[in-house]
Amino acid sequence: MNQNIYERSQIWFVTGAQLLYGDDAVAQVDAHSRQIVDKLSAGGLPMEMVYRGTIHSREEVTAFFREAEASETCVGVVTWMHTFSPAKMWIHGLKAFHKPLLHLHTQFHREIPWSDIDMDYMNLNQSAHGDREFGHIVSRLRRNRKIVVGYWQDDTTRKSLADWMRVCAAWGDQQKLTIVRFGDNMNDVAVTDGDKVEAESVLGYHVDYVPVGDLAEVQQSVTQAEINDLVAQYTSEYTLAPNALPDGMDRKRVIEAAREELAIRKILEVKNAKAFTTNFDALHGLDQLPGLASQRLMAEGYGFGAEGDWKTAALVRLFKVMGRGLPGGSSFLEDYVLHFAGDGAILQSHMLEVCPTIADAKPRLEVHPLGIGGKAAPARLVFTAHSGKGVAATVVDMGNRFRMIVNCVEVRKPEADLPKLPVARAFWKPEPNLEIGAGAWILCGGTHHTAFSFDLTVEQLADYAEIADMEMVVIDEKTEIFRLKETLRTNEVYYWMKK
């Protein structure tokens, strides 16, 4: 990963109260809140959670949220009501705040102390009361937020917060993300196109264009020493096919692949871009389709989309940030070939560009001709994805809104070796099965390109869609086509009314 967003970001925790029950009560609320944040942090959170105090007036609430909104480090806020907190005081603050919001519905004490409970105890420990008052005003303001209900010392509660914090990190990243397109979208293709202005307004990221000629020119500034160093890295990280070895007949292609990778890196660094697209049909001045570069940059955390697919590049970057440090891996993928035998499954691959973080073994660096694009034979990493459950997602432009489509899938070992297939691949069964899963995806208008992850959950993607206030359709083991059609029809009206 080329960015330490988790190291430089924070989640701010704030507690609501009022002064009705005296200074002693406020001091206790403050001490308890600190204890909760300390305990959650000690259990392991993906980024720092900072307790920002107890607030009990409109002025304090408004000042707090204005500061959170303006802060470079704060990527989300957690609220909790220990006692009662009259919610009119939250209105102005909430309206000034547009970052992710999580409402934690917990209580300092786990159990009711049956023999000791009195009115003092009840007045101090009334989260059931205070959190409802707070929740009302958030709903009244039609403000999207996540609600987590659970005891603060339980691992399940901490896990819910930790998962959401990853979404906040990725959302924060997308608000500053630049995506570079080397060349335009592939001609005539509908699903990879879309409204880049609307995407920046709704989803946050900025899509830029770099002529392929500029990339060709930057290649000239790459030195032989840089190429030698990079090829040495290839040799240590991958198993090289015979024709890619120093005396192999396609060694030149490996060297040119390294030159392209170095040139792409230079441009991405200058533009401070963390995602990019290529197009096999726009390669003037290049030796080959830069497949190896795309694979390696993805593995480092860059977003990638082929054929100019900037929406998927953004989504792959989102997955990379959300899943940073997790073991399963994530990738750009494309639905390629159906398998109507057995349980029914789909072979996922691409011309070249599959991320090696999902590989089941050390990838092989191979060079093979590519039938389209009219360029030299490109270098690429060849491997099979490991097995496991995961999520595949896409974002499509429906004209009046973006729609995210998520399918739960099970990656399996292919039923046999694929000795003649010169590209990386994954083999998955969509939930609930091929017939409904693929049928539902097509009905929703889903792309052939997806962002895929072994590490993320449907809930995290739903949190992301809610933060973006974007339509989301989930295809999982419960999906039935006729109910899905109802949902899509209802959504059509909802989003038409909302505009």
Shortest distance (Å) from residue 306 CB to Mn ion: 4
Q: CA angle, corner 495, sides to 493 and 499, nearest 5? A: 120
Shortest distance (Å) from residue 350 CB to Mn ion: 6
C-alpha 252/C-alpha 229 separation (Å) is: 15
Which one of 68-76, 259-267, 294-302, 327-335 is the stretch in contact with Mn ion (CB under 5 A)?
Answer: 327-335
Shortest distance (Å) from residue 211 CB to Mn ion: 21
C-alpha 372/C-alpha 351 separation (Å) is: 9
Shortest distance (Å) from residue 353 CB to Mn ion: 8
| 195, 241, 466 from 499: Cα distances, Å | 16, 55, 16
User: How many of the chain's residues bind Mn ion (CB under 5 A)?
Assistant: 3
Shortest distance (Å) from residue 421 CB to Mn ion: 16
Count other Cβ atoms within 10 Å, centred on residue 209. 15
What is Dmax (Cα atoms) for the chain?
85
254 vs 333 by CB, closer to Mn ion: 333
Shortest distance (Å) from residue 215 CB to Mn ion: 20
Q: Could you say which DSSP state residue 325 is in?
A: T
Could you tell me where the beta strands, DSSP code E, fall in 157-197? 178-182
Token pair for residue 345?
Answer: 């499954």
Place of tokens 């959300």: 322
Shortest distance (Å) from residue 73 CB to Mn ion: 38
Sheet holding 379-382, edge to edge: 239-240, 364-367, 379-382
Shortest distance (Å) from residue 461 CB to Mn ion: 22
106 vs 331 by CB, closer to Mn ion: 331
313 vs 358 by CB, closer to Mn ion: 313
15 vs 185 by CB, closer to Mn ion: 185
256 vs 307 by CB, closer to Mn ion: 307
Which one of 62-70, 244-252, 299-307, 470-478 is the stretch in contact with Mn ion (CB under 5 A)?
Answer: 299-307
18 vs 407 by CB, closer to Mn ion: 407
Which one of 24-32, 87-95, 330-338, 422-430 is the stretch in contact with Mn ion (CB under 5 A)?
Answer: 330-338
Shortest distance (Å) from residue 427 CB to Mn ion: 18
Report whether the peptide linkage leading into residue 432 is cis, meaning its omega lies within 30 degrees of zero.
yes
| 181, 182, 294, 351 from 278: Cα distances, Å | 6, 5, 9, 12
Which one of 102-110, 158-166, 329-337, 474-482 is the stretch in contact with Mn ion (CB under 5 A)?
Answer: 329-337
- 8 Å CB contact between 187 and 307: no
Which one of 11-19, 153-161, 256-264, 326-334 is the stretch in contact with Mn ion (CB under 5 A)?
Answer: 326-334
Q: In the chain, how many H helices and how many E strands?
A: 16, 19
Alpha carbon of residue 286 to chain centroid = 31
Q: Restricting to residues 87-126, which ones interact with Mn ion according to CB under 5 A?
A: none
275, containing H or E segment: strand 275-277
Instruction: Please classify residue 296 by burial: count the beta carbons closer than 10 Å to its beta carbon, then call 0-12 exposed, 13-18 middle and 19+ buried.
Output: buried
77 vs 382 by CB, closer to Mn ion: 382
C-alpha 142/C-alpha 393 separation (Å) is: 26
Shortest distance (Å) from residue 190 CB to Mn ion: 13
Shortest distance (Å) from residue 422 CB to Mn ion: 16
C-alpha 162/C-alpha 14 separation (Å) is: 17
Q: Could you say which DSSP state residue 493 is in?
A: H
Q: Is residue 431 part of the contact set for Mn ion (CB under 5 A)?
A: no
307 vs 455 by CB, closer to Mn ion: 307
Q: Is residue 334 part of the contact set for Mn ion (CB under 5 A)?
A: yes
> Helices 434-443 and 481-498, interaxial angle, to 10°?
20
C-alpha 432/C-alpha 479 separation (Å) is: 7
| 306, 359, 379, 473: which one binds Mn ion (CB under 5 A) | 306
Shortest distance (Å) from residue 88 CB to Mn ion: 53
Which one of 126-134, 169-177, 301-309, 382-390 is the stretch in contact with Mn ion (CB under 5 A)?
Answer: 301-309
- 8 Å CB contact between 180 and 267: yes
| 40, 53, 106 from 311: Cα distances, Å | 35, 39, 38
68 vs 306 by CB, closer to Mn ion: 306
Q: Is residue 131 part of the contact set for Mn ion (CB under 5 A)?
A: no
In the bound state, the residue with its beta carbon closest to Mn ion is 306
351 vs 434 by CB, closer to Mn ion: 351
32 vs 449 by CB, closer to Mn ion: 449
Binding site for Mn ion (CB under 5 A): 306-307, 334
